[in-house]
Protein backbone atom coordinates (compact mmCIF):
# COMPACT_ATOMS: atom_id res chain seq x y z
CA UNK A 1 0.00 0.00 0.00
CA UNK A 2 3.04 2.26 0.15
CA UNK A 3 4.45 4.18 3.05
CA UNK A 4 2.08 5.99 5.34
CA UNK A 5 4.88 8.06 6.82
CA UNK A 6 4.19 11.71 7.40
CA UNK A 7 7.61 12.48 6.02
CA UNK A 8 8.61 12.52 2.36
CA UNK A 9 11.99 11.07 1.28
CA UNK A 10 13.77 14.38 1.89
CA UNK A 11 12.52 14.52 5.46
CA UNK A 12 10.20 17.48 4.91
CA UNK A 13 6.69 16.97 6.33
CA UNK A 14 3.94 16.99 3.70
CA UNK A 15 2.23 19.99 5.32
CA UNK A 16 5.55 21.90 5.35
CA UNK A 17 6.07 20.98 1.71
CA UNK A 18 2.63 22.29 0.76
CA UNK A 19 3.17 25.49 2.76
CA UNK A 20 6.54 26.02 1.06
CA UNK A 21 5.03 25.41 -2.38
CA UNK A 22 2.24 27.84 -1.61
CA UNK A 23 4.72 30.47 -0.51
CA UNK A 24 6.59 30.06 -3.79
CA UNK A 25 3.35 30.45 -5.70
CA UNK A 26 3.45 26.85 -6.99
CA UNK A 27 0.11 26.03 -5.45
CA UNK A 28 -2.33 28.57 -6.02
CA UNK A 29 -13.56 28.15 -6.05
CA UNK A 30 -18.78 28.94 -8.82
CA UNK A 31 -22.08 27.38 -7.45
CA UNK A 32 -25.33 25.83 -8.95
CA UNK A 33 -28.35 25.32 -6.91
CA UNK A 34 -32.01 25.39 -6.56
CA UNK A 35 -34.18 26.79 -3.87
CA UNK A 36 -37.06 24.57 -3.01
CA UNK A 37 -40.46 26.18 -2.87
CA UNK A 38 -41.98 26.63 0.51
CA UNK A 39 -45.24 25.67 2.06
CA UNK A 40 -47.09 28.43 3.78
CA UNK A 41 -49.07 28.38 6.99
CA UNK A 42 -51.99 26.06 7.47
CA UNK A 43 -55.60 26.93 6.92
CA UNK A 44 -58.84 25.14 7.71
CA UNK A 45 -58.34 21.44 8.33
CA UNK A 46 -60.31 18.40 9.42
CA UNK A 47 -60.66 16.34 12.52
CA UNK A 48 -57.82 14.10 13.62
CA UNK A 49 -58.62 10.42 13.92
CA UNK A 50 -58.90 9.20 17.48
CA UNK A 51 -55.84 7.25 18.52
CA UNK A 52 -56.26 3.55 19.13
CA UNK A 53 -55.26 1.49 22.11
CA UNK A 54 -51.52 0.91 22.55
CA UNK A 55 -50.68 -2.80 22.68
CA UNK A 56 -47.59 -4.93 22.12
CA UNK A 57 -48.61 -5.37 18.47
CA UNK A 58 -49.73 -1.77 18.11
CA UNK A 59 -47.21 0.21 20.19
CA UNK A 60 -47.99 3.56 18.56
CA UNK A 61 -51.72 3.22 19.23
CA UNK A 62 -52.86 3.29 15.60
CA UNK A 63 -56.63 3.61 15.11
CA UNK A 64 -57.19 0.26 13.41
CA UNK A 65 -60.05 1.50 11.26
CA UNK A 66 -58.83 5.02 10.41
CA UNK A 67 -57.86 5.69 6.78
CA UNK A 68 -54.15 6.26 6.12
CA UNK A 69 -52.77 8.21 3.17
CA UNK A 70 -49.19 7.86 1.92
CA UNK A 71 -47.69 9.97 -0.89
CA UNK A 72 -44.33 8.83 -2.28
CA UNK A 73 -41.85 10.69 -4.46
CA UNK A 74 -41.77 8.78 -7.75
CA UNK A 75 -38.02 8.88 -8.40
CA UNK A 76 -35.01 6.69 -9.01
CA UNK A 77 -35.96 4.19 -6.32
CA UNK A 78 -39.35 3.54 -7.89
CA UNK A 79 -42.52 2.78 -5.96
CA UNK A 80 -42.52 -0.99 -5.57
CA UNK A 81 -40.67 -1.04 -2.24
CA UNK A 82 -43.25 1.31 -0.74
CA UNK A 83 -46.20 -0.59 -2.21
CA UNK A 84 -44.83 -3.78 -0.63
CA UNK A 85 -44.63 -2.07 2.77
CA UNK A 86 -48.19 -0.75 2.37
CA UNK A 87 -49.41 -4.34 1.88
CA UNK A 88 -47.98 -5.21 5.30
CA UNK A 89 -49.82 -2.25 6.86
CA UNK A 90 -53.06 -3.40 5.20
CA UNK A 91 -52.52 -6.94 6.46
CA UNK A 92 -51.90 -5.70 10.02
CA UNK A 93 -54.88 -3.33 9.96
CA UNK A 94 -57.44 -4.98 7.66
CA UNK A 95 -60.14 -2.54 8.73
CA UNK A 96 -58.16 0.50 7.54
CA UNK A 97 -58.38 1.91 4.05
CA UNK A 98 -54.96 2.91 2.71
CA UNK A 99 -54.63 5.43 -0.08
CA UNK A 100 -51.20 5.22 -1.73
CA UNK A 101 -49.96 7.41 -4.58
CA UNK A 102 -46.66 8.42 -6.16
CA UNK A 103 -45.76 11.68 -7.88
CA UNK A 104 -42.72 13.65 -9.00
CA UNK A 105 -44.56 16.90 -8.28
CA UNK A 106 -44.41 16.82 -4.50
CA UNK A 107 -44.58 20.57 -3.90
CA UNK A 108 -47.22 21.50 -6.45
CA UNK A 109 -49.37 18.52 -5.45
CA UNK A 110 -49.08 18.88 -1.70
CA UNK A 111 -48.49 22.54 -0.90
CA UNK A 112 -52.16 23.41 -1.47
CA UNK A 113 -53.13 20.60 0.88
CA UNK A 114 -50.78 21.93 3.58
CA UNK A 115 -52.39 25.34 3.10
CA UNK A 116 -55.87 23.81 3.51
CA UNK A 117 -54.84 21.78 6.57
CA UNK A 118 -55.55 18.47 4.79
CA UNK A 119 -52.12 16.93 4.15
CA UNK A 120 -51.49 13.16 3.80
CA UNK A 121 -50.34 11.12 6.78
CA UNK A 122 -46.92 10.20 5.36
CA UNK A 123 -44.89 11.89 2.63
CA UNK A 124 -41.60 11.08 0.92
CA UNK A 125 -40.57 14.73 0.48
CA UNK A 126 -37.92 14.30 -2.20
CA UNK A 127 -36.96 15.28 -5.72
CA UNK A 128 -36.62 18.56 -7.57
CA UNK A 129 -40.01 19.65 -6.22
CA UNK A 130 -39.13 18.88 -2.63
CA UNK A 131 -40.81 21.20 -0.13
CA UNK A 132 -38.27 23.26 1.82
CA UNK A 133 -37.61 21.37 5.07
CA UNK A 134 -36.37 24.44 6.93
CA UNK A 135 -39.60 26.28 6.13
CA UNK A 136 -41.80 23.32 7.11
CA UNK A 137 -39.98 23.03 10.43
CA UNK A 138 -39.96 26.78 10.99
CA UNK A 139 -43.71 27.01 10.42
CA UNK A 140 -44.46 24.08 12.78
CA UNK A 141 -45.95 22.01 9.99
CA UNK A 142 -44.35 18.66 10.89
CA UNK A 143 -45.03 16.05 13.56
CA UNK A 144 -42.23 15.23 15.98
CA UNK A 145 -41.21 11.62 15.19
CA UNK A 146 -39.77 10.94 18.66
CA UNK A 147 -42.69 8.55 19.50
CA UNK A 148 -41.73 6.45 16.46
CA UNK A 149 -38.05 6.42 17.43
CA UNK A 150 -38.88 5.44 21.01
CA UNK A 151 -41.36 2.72 19.96
CA UNK A 152 -40.28 -0.94 19.96
CA UNK A 153 -38.67 -1.92 16.65
CA UNK A 154 -40.76 -4.02 14.29
CA UNK A 155 -38.56 -7.11 14.63
CA UNK A 156 -37.39 -6.95 18.24
CA UNK A 157 -39.63 -5.46 20.96
CA UNK A 158 -36.56 -5.32 23.19
CA UNK A 159 -34.98 -2.68 20.93
CA UNK A 160 -36.29 0.80 20.21
CA UNK A 161 -36.56 1.87 16.58
CA UNK A 162 -33.81 4.46 17.16
CA UNK A 163 -31.43 1.68 18.25
CA UNK A 164 -31.78 -0.08 14.88
CA UNK A 165 -30.78 2.95 12.76
CA UNK A 166 -27.47 3.74 11.09
CA UNK A 167 -25.18 6.47 12.45
CA UNK A 168 -26.38 10.01 11.87
CA UNK A 169 -29.97 9.24 10.85
CA UNK A 170 -31.58 10.58 14.02
CA UNK A 171 -29.39 13.70 14.04
CA UNK A 172 -30.16 14.43 10.40
CA UNK A 173 -33.84 14.73 11.22
CA UNK A 174 -33.20 17.37 13.87
CA UNK A 175 -33.27 21.13 13.40
CA UNK A 176 -32.11 23.15 16.40
CA UNK A 177 -32.62 20.68 19.18
CA UNK A 178 -34.24 17.46 20.27
CA UNK A 179 -37.38 17.00 18.16
CA UNK A 180 -36.84 14.77 15.13
CA UNK A 181 -38.91 16.05 12.23
CA UNK A 182 -37.62 13.88 9.38
CA UNK A 183 -36.79 10.22 8.92
CA UNK A 184 -34.33 9.69 6.07
CA UNK A 185 -34.99 6.22 4.70
CA UNK A 186 -32.25 5.60 2.13
CA UNK A 187 -28.62 5.65 3.22
CA UNK A 188 -25.91 7.07 0.97
CA UNK A 189 -22.19 6.40 1.21
CA UNK A 190 -20.13 9.24 -0.24
CA UNK A 191 -16.49 8.87 -1.17
CA UNK A 192 -13.99 8.16 -3.91
CA UNK A 193 -15.32 5.61 -6.42
CA UNK A 194 -13.09 3.56 -8.70
CA UNK A 195 -12.62 0.32 -10.61
CA UNK A 196 -10.83 -2.26 -8.51
CA UNK A 197 -9.80 -3.93 -11.77
CA UNK A 198 -8.15 -0.71 -12.97
CA UNK A 199 -6.37 -0.23 -9.65
CA UNK A 200 -5.15 -3.84 -9.73
CA UNK A 201 -3.85 -3.30 -13.26
CA UNK A 202 -1.60 -0.58 -11.85
CA UNK A 203 -0.45 -3.02 -9.15
CA UNK A 204 -1.68 -0.57 -6.53
CA UNK A 205 -3.96 -0.47 -3.52
CA UNK A 206 -6.18 2.46 -2.66
CA UNK A 207 -3.90 5.30 -1.44
CA UNK A 208 -4.29 6.14 2.24
CA UNK A 209 -2.14 9.31 2.23
CA UNK A 210 -1.92 12.18 -0.24
CA UNK A 211 1.65 11.37 -1.25
CA UNK A 212 0.41 7.89 -2.17
CA UNK A 213 -2.54 9.41 -4.05
CA UNK A 214 -0.22 11.54 -6.18
CA UNK A 215 2.03 8.57 -6.85
CA UNK A 216 -0.91 6.43 -8.01
CA UNK A 217 -2.18 9.27 -10.23
CA UNK A 218 1.28 9.61 -11.81
CA UNK A 219 1.36 5.87 -12.47
CA UNK A 220 -2.11 6.06 -14.05
CA UNK A 221 -1.03 8.97 -16.25
CA UNK A 222 1.89 6.95 -17.59
CA UNK A 223 -0.67 4.31 -18.62
CA UNK A 224 -2.76 6.92 -20.43
CA UNK A 225 -5.40 7.29 -17.73
CA UNK A 226 -6.21 10.47 -15.81
CA UNK A 227 -6.14 10.26 -12.03
CA UNK A 228 -9.45 12.06 -11.43
CA UNK A 229 -12.57 13.42 -13.02
CA UNK A 230 -15.65 14.98 -11.44
CA UNK A 231 -18.92 16.69 -12.37
CA UNK A 232 -17.33 19.90 -13.61
CA UNK A 233 -20.64 21.64 -14.26
CA UNK A 234 -21.87 20.63 -10.80
CA UNK A 235 -18.71 20.85 -8.68
CA UNK A 236 -20.68 20.47 -5.47
CA UNK A 237 -19.91 16.76 -6.03
CA UNK A 238 -16.28 17.50 -5.05
CA UNK A 239 -17.20 17.85 -1.32
CA UNK A 240 -18.36 14.20 -1.28
CA UNK A 241 -14.70 13.31 -0.80
CA UNK A 242 -13.20 16.69 0.17
CA UNK A 243 -15.39 17.34 3.23
CA UNK A 244 -14.67 14.02 4.94
CA UNK A 245 -10.99 14.56 4.15
CA UNK A 246 -11.18 17.90 5.98
CA UNK A 247 -12.84 16.11 8.90
CA UNK A 248 -10.19 13.40 8.87
CA UNK A 249 -7.34 15.93 8.84
CA UNK A 250 -8.74 18.46 11.33
CA UNK A 251 -11.41 16.61 13.29
CA UNK A 252 -15.22 16.74 13.30
CA UNK A 253 -15.24 20.14 14.96
CA UNK A 254 -13.90 21.75 11.77
CA UNK A 255 -16.90 20.49 9.78
CA UNK A 256 -19.26 21.53 12.59
CA UNK A 257 -17.81 25.06 12.57
CA UNK A 258 -18.33 25.23 8.79
CA UNK A 259 -21.93 24.03 9.16
CA UNK A 260 -22.51 26.57 11.94
CA UNK A 261 -21.27 29.40 9.67
CA UNK A 262 -18.73 30.39 12.29
CA UNK A 263 -16.44 33.32 11.40
CA UNK A 264 -13.17 32.12 9.81
CA UNK A 265 -14.28 28.46 9.85
CA UNK A 266 -13.01 28.06 6.29
CA UNK A 267 -9.62 29.47 7.31
CA UNK A 268 -8.82 26.50 9.54
CA UNK A 269 -5.43 24.95 8.68
CA UNK A 270 -7.12 21.62 7.82
CA UNK A 271 -9.27 23.33 5.17
CA UNK A 272 -6.21 25.09 3.76
CA UNK A 273 -4.17 21.86 3.67
CA UNK A 274 -6.94 19.89 1.95
CA UNK A 275 -7.67 22.61 -0.61
CA UNK A 276 -3.98 22.78 -1.44
CA UNK A 277 -3.82 18.99 -1.74
CA UNK A 278 -6.75 18.93 -4.21
CA UNK A 279 -5.24 21.82 -6.13
CA UNK A 280 -2.16 19.65 -6.70
CA UNK A 281 -4.36 17.31 -8.77
CA UNK A 282 -5.00 20.23 -11.12
CA UNK A 283 -1.47 21.63 -10.98
CA UNK A 284 0.16 18.30 -11.77
CA UNK A 285 -2.23 17.53 -14.62
CA UNK A 286 -3.93 14.57 -12.97
CA UNK A 287 -7.49 15.68 -13.80
CA UNK A 288 -9.10 14.43 -17.01
CA UNK A 289 -8.82 17.09 -19.70
CA UNK A 290 -12.12 18.88 -20.27
CA UNK A 291 -13.54 17.90 -16.86
CA UNK A 292 -14.74 21.45 -15.97
CA UNK A 293 -17.13 21.26 -18.93
CA UNK A 294 -18.63 17.85 -18.06
CA UNK A 295 -21.90 17.28 -16.22
CA UNK A 296 -22.38 14.42 -13.77
CA UNK A 297 -23.47 11.89 -16.42
CA UNK A 298 -20.64 12.78 -18.82
CA UNK A 299 -17.99 12.60 -16.10
CA UNK A 300 -19.36 9.28 -14.81
CA UNK A 301 -19.39 7.90 -18.35
CA UNK A 302 -15.79 8.94 -19.02
CA UNK A 303 -14.78 7.35 -15.71
CA UNK A 304 -16.71 4.14 -16.47
CA UNK A 305 -14.93 4.01 -19.84
CA UNK A 306 -11.57 3.98 -18.06
CA UNK A 307 -10.51 7.51 -18.96
CA UNK A 308 -10.07 8.42 -15.27
CA UNK A 309 -9.33 6.30 -12.22
CA UNK A 310 -11.14 8.14 -9.41
CA UNK A 311 -14.40 10.11 -9.12
CA UNK A 312 -16.05 11.71 -6.04
CA UNK A 313 -19.66 10.55 -5.86
CA UNK A 314 -22.44 8.97 -3.83
CA UNK A 315 -23.63 5.36 -3.81
CA UNK A 316 -26.41 6.16 -6.29
CA UNK A 317 -23.69 6.16 -8.98
CA UNK A 318 -23.96 2.37 -9.29
CA UNK A 319 -27.61 2.49 -10.34
CA UNK A 320 -27.31 5.75 -12.28
CA UNK A 321 -24.34 4.53 -14.36
CA UNK A 322 -25.29 0.85 -14.57
CA UNK A 323 -25.74 1.03 -18.35
CA UNK A 324 -22.16 2.28 -18.93
CA UNK A 325 -20.20 0.47 -16.19
CA UNK A 326 -18.62 -2.67 -17.71
CA UNK A 327 -19.57 -6.00 -16.16
CA UNK A 328 -15.97 -6.67 -15.11
CA UNK A 329 -15.43 -3.14 -13.69
CA UNK A 330 -15.42 -4.30 -10.04
CA UNK A 331 -16.93 -1.05 -8.74
CA UNK A 332 -15.55 0.01 -5.37
CA UNK A 333 -15.65 2.97 -3.01
CA UNK A 334 -13.19 4.14 -0.42
CA UNK A 335 -13.08 6.76 2.25
CA UNK A 336 -10.91 9.67 1.12
CA UNK A 337 -7.14 9.56 1.40
CA UNK A 338 -5.81 11.56 4.30
CA UNK A 339 -2.87 13.91 4.39
CA UNK A 340 -0.42 12.05 6.64
CA UNK A 341 0.00 10.37 10.01
CA UNK A 342 -0.81 13.59 11.87
CA UNK A 343 -4.48 13.55 10.77
CA UNK A 344 -6.94 13.81 13.65
CA UNK A 345 -9.13 10.88 12.52
CA UNK A 346 -8.07 7.48 11.16
CA UNK A 347 -8.09 6.32 7.56
CA UNK A 348 -11.57 5.03 6.82
CA UNK A 349 -13.29 8.22 8.05
CA UNK A 350 -16.16 8.58 5.59
CA UNK A 351 -19.23 10.69 4.86
CA UNK A 352 -22.42 8.67 4.98
CA UNK A 353 -25.91 9.98 5.58
CA UNK A 354 -29.58 9.61 4.90
CA UNK A 355 -31.57 10.33 1.76
CA UNK A 356 -35.27 10.13 0.89
CA UNK A 357 -36.73 12.27 3.69
CA UNK A 358 -40.03 10.99 5.06
CA UNK A 359 -42.27 13.35 7.05
CA UNK A 360 -45.56 13.15 8.94
CA UNK A 361 -47.40 16.50 8.70
CA UNK A 362 -48.50 18.19 11.92
CA UNK A 363 -52.08 18.33 10.59
CA UNK A 364 -52.12 14.72 9.38
CA UNK A 365 -55.44 13.08 10.13
CA UNK A 366 -53.78 9.82 11.16
CA UNK A 367 -50.21 10.61 12.29
CA UNK A 368 -49.96 7.35 14.25
CA UNK A 369 -50.72 5.50 11.02
CA UNK A 370 -48.04 7.43 9.14
CA UNK A 371 -45.47 6.62 11.82
CA UNK A 372 -46.52 2.96 11.91
CA UNK A 373 -46.01 2.73 8.15
CA UNK A 374 -42.47 4.00 8.70
CA UNK A 375 -41.95 1.50 11.53
CA UNK A 376 -42.87 -1.28 9.10
CA UNK A 377 -40.48 0.12 6.48
CA UNK A 378 -37.69 0.06 9.08
CA UNK A 379 -38.08 -3.69 9.62
CA UNK A 380 -35.38 -6.06 8.41
CA UNK A 381 -37.65 -7.58 5.76
CA UNK A 382 -38.69 -4.22 4.26
CA UNK A 383 -35.10 -3.02 4.37
CA UNK A 384 -33.87 -6.10 2.53
CA UNK A 385 -36.63 -5.67 -0.01
CA UNK A 386 -35.53 -2.09 -0.72
CA UNK A 387 -31.84 -2.99 -0.95
CA UNK A 388 -32.52 -5.91 -3.28
CA UNK A 389 -34.68 -3.85 -5.62
CA UNK A 390 -32.82 -0.55 -5.80
CA UNK A 391 -29.14 -1.32 -4.97
CA UNK A 392 -29.12 1.03 -1.99
CA UNK A 393 -28.85 0.68 1.76
CA UNK A 394 -31.59 1.91 4.07
CA UNK A 395 -31.49 3.69 7.42
CA UNK A 396 -31.94 0.28 9.07
CA UNK A 397 -28.52 -0.79 10.35
CA UNK A 398 -28.33 -4.17 8.68
CA UNK A 399 -30.65 -5.75 6.18
CA UNK A 400 -27.93 -7.11 3.89
CA UNK A 401 -27.46 -10.63 5.27
CA UNK A 402 -28.47 -13.37 2.88
CA UNK A 403 -29.14 -11.17 -0.14
CA UNK A 404 -26.82 -10.88 -3.14
CA UNK A 405 -24.99 -7.54 -3.13
CA UNK A 406 -23.66 -5.79 -6.21
CA UNK A 407 -19.95 -4.99 -6.16
CA UNK A 408 -20.52 -1.29 -5.37
CA UNK A 409 -22.97 -2.03 -2.58
CA UNK A 410 -20.67 -4.68 -1.13
CA UNK A 411 -17.83 -2.17 -1.16
CA UNK A 412 -20.02 0.50 0.48
CA UNK A 413 -20.97 -1.92 3.28
CA UNK A 414 -17.28 -2.75 3.80
CA UNK A 415 -16.40 0.96 3.88
CA UNK A 416 -19.03 1.56 6.57
CA UNK A 417 -17.73 -1.36 8.60
CA UNK A 418 -14.19 -0.01 8.35
CA UNK A 419 -15.34 3.46 9.38
CA UNK A 420 -17.12 2.21 12.48
CA UNK A 421 -17.91 5.32 14.51
CA UNK A 422 -15.77 7.51 12.22
CA UNK A 423 -18.70 8.57 10.05
CA UNK A 424 -19.07 12.30 9.42
CA UNK A 425 -22.19 14.04 8.21
CA UNK A 426 -21.73 17.64 7.00
CA UNK A 427 -25.06 19.48 6.97
CA UNK A 428 -24.47 22.42 4.62
CA UNK A 429 -26.24 20.68 1.75
CA UNK A 430 -29.35 20.22 3.94
CA UNK A 431 -29.32 23.56 5.76
CA UNK A 432 -28.06 25.98 3.08
CA UNK A 433 -28.74 24.64 -0.40
CA UNK A 434 -27.81 27.76 -2.36
CA UNK A 435 -24.62 28.38 -0.37
CA UNK A 436 -23.45 24.80 -0.85
CA UNK A 437 -24.28 24.43 -4.53
CA UNK A 438 -23.99 27.80 -6.22
CA UNK A 439 -21.40 29.48 -4.05
CA UNK A 440 -19.08 26.95 -2.41
CA UNK A 441 -19.52 24.50 -5.28
CA UNK A 442 -19.58 26.47 -8.51
CA UNK A 443 -18.08 29.85 -7.56
CA UNK A 444 -15.51 28.38 -5.18
CA UNK A 445 -14.36 24.79 -5.64
CA UNK A 446 -15.23 24.62 -9.33
CA UNK A 447 -13.12 27.69 -10.07
CA UNK A 448 -10.21 26.38 -8.02
CA UNK A 449 -10.21 22.92 -9.60
CA UNK A 450 -10.31 24.53 -13.07
CA UNK A 451 -7.21 26.53 -12.11
CA UNK A 452 -8.92 29.90 -12.12
CA UNK A 453 -8.49 30.50 -8.37
CA UNK A 454 -5.64 29.59 -6.04
CA UNK A 455 -6.59 27.72 -2.84
CA UNK A 456 -6.04 30.92 -0.83
CA UNK A 457 -8.33 32.88 -3.17
CA UNK A 458 -10.96 30.13 -3.07
CA UNK A 459 -10.93 30.07 0.72
CA UNK A 460 -11.33 33.85 0.91
CA UNK A 461 -14.21 33.73 -1.53
CA UNK A 462 -15.98 30.85 0.21
CA UNK A 463 -15.55 32.43 3.66
CA UNK A 464 -17.13 35.58 2.25
CA UNK A 465 -20.10 33.60 0.95
CA UNK A 466 -20.51 31.88 4.34
CA UNK A 467 -20.35 35.24 6.15
CA UNK A 468 -23.03 36.70 3.84
CA UNK A 469 -25.30 33.73 4.56
CA UNK A 470 -24.70 34.04 8.31
CA UNK A 471 -25.69 37.72 8.24
CA UNK A 472 -28.74 37.34 5.98
CA UNK A 473 -31.85 37.78 8.17
CA UNK A 474 -34.08 36.23 5.48
CA UNK A 475 -32.32 32.86 5.88
CA UNK A 476 -33.22 30.52 8.74
CA UNK A 477 -30.01 29.53 10.48
CA UNK A 478 -29.27 26.17 12.11
CA UNK A 479 -26.50 24.95 14.39
CA UNK A 480 -25.13 21.66 15.69
CA UNK A 481 -26.30 21.27 19.26
Q: pLDDT band for 432, please (50, 70, 90 cuts).
A: confident
Q: pLDDT band for 15, please (50, 70, 90 cuts).
A: very low
Q: In the predicted model, is pLDDT for residue 465 greater than 70? A: yes
Q: Where are the beta strands (DSSP E) in 362-461?
A: 393-394, 423-424
Rounded CA gap, 363 and 48, in Å?
8
First and final C-alpha spacing in the chain: 39
Contact status, residue 28 vs residue 279, Cβ threshold 8 Å: yes
Residues written for the chain: 481
Rounded CA gap, 434 and 32, in Å?
7
Rounded CA gap, 27 and 454, in Å?
7
Helix 367-377, helix 380-390: angle, nearest 10: 70
Cα atoms found within 13 Å of the Cα of residue 191, Cβ hemisphere only? 35
Q: In the predicted model, is pLDDT for residue 1 greater than 80? A: no
No. of H helices and E strands in the chain? 20, 10
Rounded CA gap, 128 and 75, in Å?
10
Rounded CA gap, 358 and 368, in Å?
14
Which of 58-62, 88-92, 235-239, 391-395 shows the lowest mean pLDDT across its residues? 391-395
Rounded CA gap, 110 and 112, in Å?
5
Between 479 and 379, residue with greater pLDDT: 379
Q: Decide the pairing of beta strands 423-424 and 350-359.
A: parallel
- Integer angstrom CA distances of residue 245 from 248, 337, 423: 5, 7, 11
Between 27 and 351, residue with greater pLDDT: 351
- What b/e string do you get for 312-325 counting C-beta neighbours within 10 Å, with b at 16 or more? bbbbbbbbbbeeeb
Rounded CA gap, 313 and 16, in Å?
30
Rounded CA gap, 70 and 74, in Å?
12
CA 296 to chain centre: 16
pLDDT in tens, 225-280: 999 999 999 999 999 999 999 999 999 999 999 999 999 999 999 999 999 999 99
What is the pLDDT averaged over residues 189-200? 97
pLDDT value at position 26? Answer: 36
Tell me if residue 193 falls in helix, strand or coil.
Answer: strand
Q: In the predicted model, is pLDDT for residue 34 greater than 70? A: no
pLDDT value at position 33? Answer: 31
Tell me if residue 46 falls in helix, strand or coil.
Answer: coil
Q: In the predicted model, is pLDDT for residue 27 greater than 60? A: no
pLDDT value at position 462? Answer: 98
pLDDT value at position 369? Answer: 97
As a whole number, the mean pLDDT across the chain is: 89
Rounded CA gap, 84 and 261, in Å?
42
pLDDT value at position 391? Answer: 84
pLDDT in tens, 288-341: 999 999 999 999 999 999 999 999 999 888 888 889 999 999 999 999 999 999
What is the pLDDT averaged over residues 445-456? 98
Contacts of 289 (CB under 8 A, 6+ apart): 226
Rounded CA gap, 198 and 192, in Å?
14
Number of CB atoms found within 10 A of residue 285's CB: 12
Domains of the chain and any CATH numbers: 14-32+189-351+428-471 (3.40.190.10), 68-188+354-403 (3.40.190.10)
pLDDT in tens, 141-190: 999 999 999 999 999 999 999 999 988 899 889 887 779 999 999 999 99
Q: Which of 189, 192, 245, 195 lies closest to 416, judged by CA? A: 189
Q: In the predicted model, is pLDDT for residue 31 greater than 70? A: no
What percent of the chain stands above pLDDT 90? 73
Q: Which DSSP symbol is given to 159?
A: S
Q: pLDDT band for 400, please (50, 70, 90 cuts).
A: confident
pLDDT value at position 475? Answer: 87
Rounded CA gap, 253 and 72, in Å?
36
Contact status, residue 45 vs residue 118, Cβ threshold 8 Å: yes
Contact status, residue 110 vs residue 119, Cβ threshold 8 Å: yes
CA 178 to chain centre: 21
Q: Is the dihedral of CA 432, 438, 439, 444 positive or negative?
A: positive
pLDDT value at position 46? Answer: 60
Concatenating the DSSP letter of every residue in 271-298 gives HHHHHHHHHHHHHTT-BPTTGGG--HHH
Contacts of 66 (CB under 8 A, 6+ apart): 49, 50, 52, 96, 365, 366, 369
Rounded CA gap, 87 and 109, in Å?
24
21: buried, middle or exposed (CB in 10 Å: 19+, 13-18, 0-12)?
middle
The model scores a pTM over 0.85: no
Between 467 and 8, residue with greater pLDDT: 467
Q: pLDDT band for 380, please (50, 70, 90 cuts).
A: very high
Q: pLDDT band for 60, please (50, 70, 90 cuts).
A: very high
Helix 239-250, helix 269-283: angle, nearest 10: 130
Radius of gyration of the chain (CA): 23
Q: In the predicted model, is pLDDT for residue 36 greater than 70? A: no
What is the pLDDT averaged over residues 119-130? 89
- Integer angstrom CA distances of residue 464 from 238, 309, 314, 436, 440: 20, 34, 28, 13, 10
Amino acid sequence: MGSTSAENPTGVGRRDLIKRSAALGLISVPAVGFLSGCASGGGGGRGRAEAGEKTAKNPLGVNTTAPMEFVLFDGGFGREYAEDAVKIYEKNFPGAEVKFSATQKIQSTLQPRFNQGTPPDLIDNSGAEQMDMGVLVGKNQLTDLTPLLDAPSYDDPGKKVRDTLRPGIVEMGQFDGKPVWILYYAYTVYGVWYSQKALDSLDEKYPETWDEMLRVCEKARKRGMAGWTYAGKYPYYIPFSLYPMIGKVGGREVLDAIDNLEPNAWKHPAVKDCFEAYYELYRKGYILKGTPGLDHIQSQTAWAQGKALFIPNGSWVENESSHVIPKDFELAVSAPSGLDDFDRMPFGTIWASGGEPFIVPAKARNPEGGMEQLRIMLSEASSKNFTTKVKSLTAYNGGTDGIPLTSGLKSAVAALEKAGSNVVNPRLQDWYVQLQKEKIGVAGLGEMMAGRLTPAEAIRRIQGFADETAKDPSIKHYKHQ
